[in-house]
Amino acid sequence: MDPDGEGERPLRREPSGVTASDPPLSSSSSSSSAAASAVCARGHPVLRPAVPVPSDIEVSQSIVRDVGLLPIEIVASEAGILPPELLPWGIGKAKVMVAPTLRRLADVPDGNYVVCTGINPTPLGEGKSTTTIGIVQALGAILGKKAFACIRQPSQGPTFGIKGGAAGGGYAQVVPMEEFNLHLTGDIHAISAANNLLAAAIDSRMYHEDSQSDDALYRRLALAKSGMPFTSVMRRRLVKLGIDDTKSPEDLSTEERSKFARLDIDPSTITWNRVLDVCDRHLRKIEIGIGPAETIQPRGTNKGEVPRVQHSRTTGFDIAVASEIMAVLALARDLPDLREKLGNMVVAYSRSGMTVTADDLGCGGALTVLMKDALLPTLMQTVERTPVLVHAGPFANIAIGNSSIVADRLALKLAGEDGYVVTEAGFGADIGMEKFFNIKCRASGLKPKCAVIVATVRALKMHGGGPPVSAGKPLPREYTDENIPLVRAGCCNLVKHIENARKFGVEVVVAVNQFKSDTAAEMEAVREASLAAGAFDAVVANHWAEGGRGAEALGRAVIAACEASDVGNFRFLYDLALPIRAKVETISREIYGADGVDFSELAEQQMAQYESSGFGNLPICIAKTQYSFSCDPKAKGVPTGFRIFVREIRSCVGAGFLYPICGDIMTIPGLPTRPGFYDVDIDVETGQVIGLF
């Protein structure tokens, strides 16, 4: 994540994207079997792309206006979801009741599991989300397969700031894209509410502990209502402390009461920040508790003996999607698992070195209540009316970068043995795909059959030594003129990603996402390099301009790769029993090609603390730049002779991983000089959103 937000917002696709070479689909077209009639393989109207392709929001609004959204109840019915399992949210989206649907489909074999990832991108993006949607449109609308896309919900921070939306693009996108990219069904708002409730609980608890005796604390916590038993979350703390949880509050000894009531948080160990879904660099570091009411009479002193002291500390904000609660949402298997993960989140340590969790603060149950509806995936549709499950949205360079286990499990059952689920892994394969395999698949128990790696001629030219690519500036001639040697030189980046994917035992299909300036010879050079590196197939796709028809060959390649795959070959990169250091070194050497890893003194201390706390067996989620295999975003191709520097290691114990922070990675981005919100407005006559992309 660019800490300053400059140079990140991509150009609109028109100047650099595909211009459809074929006429719009119609009943007279004979270029594909799906175009030979007025309806597609699923019985819906054939997509008729415009030439040239309009902006993403214009495409979305034209679909809604001219073709019409398929009522979400019909989308659900065609997907195999029964009416009692659906919670409609307007005409274009709905929540899906996961538990009853999975119970009903428990004996149905899973569909074919496919992950879509990419090479290290340019700042303009290479169309990974668009390709995910394009493949599913090809599988469903063109080839007649039952197919689902599982994608992340975008953060409003980048949408209004530096990156734009993430609904796909052109004629391979989720509609309505305005709803997809904005509030959707409120999941990110729920995450913000839950995260900030826990943050408030931390500071409030320290405030009260610093001004009250153990006896006063205990009376207010456990004896406020005579005869009331310990609450459920209180009993969890009793079990943790080794105190008999069948006792009543009145029965605890003086020593037990003190242990129960006083968390004794060491402020220097607090890792929990507040969050908001906005890019706001000025909140990265703040001081709280400086108001006149935030003073205390120190514990053990009487009023007037010593002056009251300010109860303040330094903290900060993260962007909402960087919250551990977002990671928990992505990795929880069901509601009971969500409750356990939220309660187990470690937010600090006591002065004696004991972990302090959300359940210790009494928050675990309340957090789950705030998140119960967010656990349900949102059902939407593509421009060709194929189903999409939108769920979770953790960033890939600071979190796991994948949509949820819940959505994937649900889609795999709905798709059935002959169906397909394409789930997206964010940013380059060195980040999103590695985390998908080693963290998400380990947590879910699901085994993918195929990895689709998205590449563009443009990005490969950059990796081959082409000049820098910057948002908002015209592309240099190297990118618009044929330059086969530059493409071949840059294919080293793609080859390394293919080799990495094959280490996990999955088949690899390369999707060459075609732009209008790409020549046949350049794209053939990419195909040749891919096949030589061991890819199952490499296919040029034009879904941005043509929808599913433009990705038909890619869809067929995915089908063939899944048929050829043996899930028994799937394997992880490292054993969880390895020490933290060894796991970080394995990822750095095997995936990034680093010579080794250097740890700061702080990171060394944190590794020792985590291992002594019993967290050493967690998987690793490295936070680093998406633009290079190394931690230097300017190091293109396949860098050599470098080392990874880990400046600190944070824990996401509830979600179930540790994340080393490498390089200049921030957990809340800033706004660029000209943010995206300059373009966004509303037609006050029609209420239609304009300028969003």
From the candidates 101, 130, 357, 382, give the one annotated as an active-site residue: 130
Is 544 in the active site? yes
Tokens of 659: 């994340």
Annotated catalytic residue, options 180, 437, 515, 615: 515
DSSP 113-155: EEEEEESSPPTT---HHHHHHHHHHIIIIIT---EEEEEPPPP
Pick the catalytic residue from 9, 42, 128, 435. 128
Catalytic hit among 190, 396, 538, 557 = 396
Burial 141-178 (b: 16+ CB within 10 A, else e): bbbebbbbbbbbbbbbbbbbbbbbbbbbbbbbbbbbbb
| Residue 260: active-site member | no
Active site residue 396: yes
Task: Tell me which of 152, 237, 257, 449 is the catalytic residue.
Answer: 152
Q: Which residue in 507, 530, 551 sits closest to 114, CA to CA?
A: 507
- Position of tokens 């990495």? 500
**Annotated catalytic residue 625:** no
Read off the amino acid at residue 308. Answer: R
The C-alpha atoms of residue 340 and residue 14 are separated, in whole angstroms, by: 47
Q: Which two tokens stand for residue 194?
A: 């839950």
Kind of pairing between the strands at 112-118 and 420-428: parallel
Nearest partner of 170 among 12, 286, 320, 292, judged by Cα: 12
Single-letter residue type at 385:
R
**Beta pairing partners, 596:** 643
Q: Residues 98, 471: contact at Cβ < 8 Å?
A: no
Q: Which amino acid is located at 139 in the chain?
A: L
Whether the CB-CB separation of 623 and 665 falls below 8 Å is answered with: yes
Contact between 548 and 141 under an 8 Å Cβ cutoff? The reply is yes
Catalytic one among 163, 259, 274, 341? 163
Distances in Å between the Cα of 224 and the Cα atoms of 216, 229, 275, 359 are 10, 11, 32, 19
Is 413 marked active-site? no
Query: CA-CA distance, 90 to 82, in Å (whole number)?
Result: 17
| Nearest-angstrom CA–CA distance, 280 and 191 | 18
Residue 633 is classified by DSSP as T
For the chain, the helix, strand and coil percentages under 3-state DSSP, each to the nearest 5:
40, 15, 45
* CA torsion, ordered 675, 677, 678, 680, to nearest 10 deg: 150
How wide is the angle at C-alpha 236 spanned by C-alphas 348 and 350, nearest 5°?
Answer: 25
Distance CA 592, CA 297 (A): 54
Identify whether 128 is a catalytic site residue.
yes
Query: 265: which strand partners?
Result: 350
Q: State how far the Cα of 359 lies from the Cα of 351, in Å rounded to an integer.
A: 18
State the catalytic residue, choosing from 260, 272, 436, 544: 544
How, if at all, do strands 94-96 and 86-88 pair?
A: antiparallel
DSSP 3-state assignment of 347? Answer: strand
Dihedral sign from CA coordinates of 323, 324, 330, 333: negative
Query: Which of 148, 260, 272, 427 is an active site residue?
Result: 427
> How does DSSP classify residue 309?
E
Residues in the chain: 693
Active site residue 272: no
**Quick check: is 89 catalytic?**
no
What would you measure as the largest C-alpha separation in the chain, in angstroms? Answer: 92
Phi, psi at residue 316, to the nearest 5°? -170, 180
Closest CA to 327 of 619, 58, 550, 31: 619
Provide the annotated active-site residues: 128, 130, 152, 163, 396, 427, 515, 544
